[in-house]
Amino acid sequence: MTFVKLSIIIIAYYSLIVKLHRKKIMFKNIDYKVFKHSNYNLVLTLIVETLDKKKIISKDIEIELTKVIYNIFENHNKCVISKIVFEEESILIINFQSTPNIFLSSLISNFKTVSSRRIRKKFHMDEYFWEQKYYLHSNSAF
């Protein structure tokens, strides 16, 4: 397929979307939010584990982590937390909604750094708290 044909297809598709949007057909039953020139519904799930899957998340640490999560996600980044789940004392699952202008890697890095520092300081731990890897999944539907 040549570049010209591909361009024509993209322009036709874009004009169809604009027509549907103007007729209120496309975004009819989905609760989209508006940001500048875009409609979005970014629902994400973040999963992080403790270092070496150690079962160290007690009830006190859960409370402290919940405070940090709400502070970083909602207060500083304008995200909306829908669910926080602690599993097997080593896994944290956060469901949240984000805006398109948030750098997710920076948000997650910030959360892991701040929460690790606070947990280590408050509960007198010597080593890192979180595993370096994480899993981020988009739950958004079109």
- pLDDT digit string, tens, across residues 99-140: 888 899 999 999 999 999 999 999 988 888 999 999 999 876
pLDDT tens-digit map of 30-60? 677 777 777 778 889 999 999 988 899 999 9
- Give kind and range of the element (H or E) at residue 69: helix 59-69
Q: What is the SS3 assignment for 43-63?
A: EEEEEEEEHHHCCCCCHHHHH
Burial (0-12, 13-18, 19+ Cβ within 10 Å), 94: buried
* The two structure tokens encoding residue 11: 């322009």
> Is 3 a residue whose pLDDT tops 70?
no
